[in-house]
């Protein structure tokens, strides 16, 4: 299966484009998280400042994702991929001017994320046109593997790059990676959508109606609402972890996140890589609902139990326990993500896929907005570990509800 997929040249192009694009995004994200935490470290609101940064990445999705998905459904996805990468490459260099100004950082992150709202549905909608249906699960495993691999490499590189070459080096590297992604996308064939002949003015006039129709369709179609809901839960989890990570590294190891990345960021990333790699095999032999439920259960167990980690600090196995725990958490995240992403792609048609994935992007960020803010407040007022544990309990309540109610629809998700 993997060999057959890797002989598909167009898949290789979009896969490598994703690799460079995600590497750029994660390198930038990690560098900015560190920078914002440093700039606000002497205040009582350091975690809230990081929360606002995460929201600056997420709010554009709430505002523009569905509109972007509507445009993508009427456009050559290749052009969208190329233009959004070039725009982000140029905008990243603006951080060279005012990166010590928090308001400027938030503003530029907001603008860059706005362009990303067009890239995400275009990439997701292009995949089924470049890959045969029988290879979609494996293709998604590759994409999730690349997503988490770039997360590991980007986050691991940021600290050494900043300490060796300075903060500005990150911006140059990020811009270069976005440009490489643009060049790779430029070599793809045209990927026109089936919907044609509607101009921008007409699209704008139809967006509100489309939002209502798409929302109604998702809510009334379990095979769409189920994967979207689970992907939204994963986004919430990742957002909370990102907000808490700088303070968590100080709380657990008395080290900055750049130094402690080998104990938190890299293990969870390797777990995500491993989980994404094996998900293709798991999904061929296991029911999709069971895979998702198992992933949620494992994630909840690790997040909630993290509250008791300080009691193990005197033990020799303290650091190994944390490393193994976050590694397993990474596997659980991949199990949920690959399964849900595959379900959503298989169960949406080509002409509506841009809208569906645009709505997904919006819903994921809506789901994360309030928890991310709450996590920052709880971390500042109580502790980072308390924030992580509360997030775990909230996901656990969702998991129990889903386990008790979704069984009646099991046949839908296991076709």
pLDDT in tens, 121-149: 787 777 777 777 676 767 766 776 676 67
pLDDT of residue 258: 67
Name the residue among 283, 285, 296, 279 with its Cα closest to residue 404.
296
Q: Are 175 and 89 in contact (CB under 8 A)?
A: yes
Q: How far is residue 102's CA from residue 250's CA, in Å, rounded to a whole number?
A: 22
Total domains in the fold of the chain: 1
pLDDT of residue 10: 78
Residue 166 region by backbone torsions, left for phi larger than 0, else alpha for psi between -120 and 50, else beta: left
CA–CA distances in Å: residue 118 to residues 78, 355, 408 = 11, 11, 36
CATH of residue 72's domain is 1.20.1250.20
Residues of the chain with pLDDT under 50: 415
pLDDT of residue 249: 83
Write the DSSP symbol of residue 178: H
pLDDT of residue 68: 76
pLDDT of residue 135: 67
Q: How far is residue 144's CA from residue 133's CA, in Å, rounded to a whole number?
A: 17
Q: Are 39 and 49 in contact (CB under 8 A)?
A: yes
Burial of 80 (0-12, 13-18, 19+ CB in 10 A): buried
- Beta-carbon contacts of residue 335 (< 8 Å; ≥ 6 apart): 275, 279, 282, 291, 292, 294, 295, 298
Name the residue among 150, 127, 339 with its Cα closest to residue 234.
339
Burial of 153 (0-12, 13-18, 19+ CB in 10 A): middle
Helices and strands per DSSP (H, E), number in the chain: 17, 0
Q: Are 355 and 69 in contact (CB under 8 A)?
A: yes
Alpha carbon dihedral 74, 78, 80, 82, in 10-degree steps, equals -170
Range of the domain at 83: 2-413
Burial of 324 (0-12, 13-18, 19+ CB in 10 A): middle
pLDDT of residue 327: 92
Q: What is the pTM of this model?
A: 0.72
pLDDT digits (tens, 9 = 90+) for 312-358: 888 888 889 998 998 999 888 888 888 887 788 777 776 666 667 76
- What is the average pLDDT score of the chain? 80
Containing 248, the helix (H) or strand (E) segment is helix 222-253
Name the residue among 361, 339, 338, 357 with its Cα closest to residue 348.
357
Quick one: CA dihedral 74, 339, 415, 138, positive or negative? positive
Token duo for residue 224: 């769409």
pLDDT digits (tens, 9 = 90+) for 267-300: 887 888 788 777 666 666 667 777 888 889 999 9
């Amino acid at each position: 299966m993997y060999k057959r997929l890797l002989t598909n040249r167009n898949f290789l192009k979009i896969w490598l484009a994703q690799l460079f694009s995600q590497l750029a995004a994660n390198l930038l994200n990690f560098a900015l998280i560190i920078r914002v935490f440093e700039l606000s470290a002497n205040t009582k609101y350091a975690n809230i400042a990081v929360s606002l940064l995460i929201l600056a990445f997420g709010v554009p999705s709430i505002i523009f994702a569905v509109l972007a998905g509507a445009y993508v459904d009427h456009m050559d996805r290749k052009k969208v991929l190329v233009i959004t990468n070039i725009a982000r490459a140029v905008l990243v260099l603006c951080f060279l001017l005012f990166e010590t100004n928090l308001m400027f950082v938030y503003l530029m992150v907001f603008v860059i994320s706005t362009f990303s709202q067009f890239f995400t549905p275009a990439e997701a909608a292009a995949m089924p046109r470049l890959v045969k249906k029988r290879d979609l699960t494996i293709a998604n495993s590759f994409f999730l593997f690349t997503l988490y691999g770039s997360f590991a490499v980007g986050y691991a590189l940021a600290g050494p790059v900043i300490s060796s070459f300075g903060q500005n080096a990150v911006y140059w590297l990020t811009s270069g990676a976005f440009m490489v992604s643009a060049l790779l996308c430029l070599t793809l064939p045209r990927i026109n959508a089936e919907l044609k002949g509607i101009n921008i003015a007409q699209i704008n006039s139809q967006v509100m109606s489309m939002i209502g129709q798409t929302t109604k369709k998702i809510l009334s179609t379990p095979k769409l609402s189920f994967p979207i809901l689970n992907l939204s839960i994963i986004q919430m989890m990742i957002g909370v972890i990102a907000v808490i990570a700088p303070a968590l590294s100080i709380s657990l190891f008395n080290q900055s996140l750049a130094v402690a990345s080998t104990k938190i960021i890299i293990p969870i990333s390797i777990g995500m890589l491993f989980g994404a790699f094996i998900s293709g095999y798991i999904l061929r032999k296991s029911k999709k609902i069971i895979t998702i439920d198992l992933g949620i259960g494992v994630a909840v167990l690790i997040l909630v139990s993290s509250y008791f980690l300080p009691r193990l600090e005197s033990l020799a196995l303290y650091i190994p326990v944390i490393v193994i725990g976050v590694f397993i958490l990474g596997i659980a995240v991949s199990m949920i993500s690959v399964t849900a992403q595959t379900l959503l792609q298989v169960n949406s048609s080509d002409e509506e896929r841009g809208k569906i994935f645009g709505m997904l992007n919006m819903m994921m960020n809506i789901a994360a907005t309030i928890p991310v803010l709450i996590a920052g407040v709880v971390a500042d007022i109580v502790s980072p570990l308390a924030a992580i544990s509360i997030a775990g309990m909230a996901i656990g309540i969702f998991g129990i509800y889903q386990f008790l109610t979704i069984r009646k629809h099991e046949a839908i998700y296991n076709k």
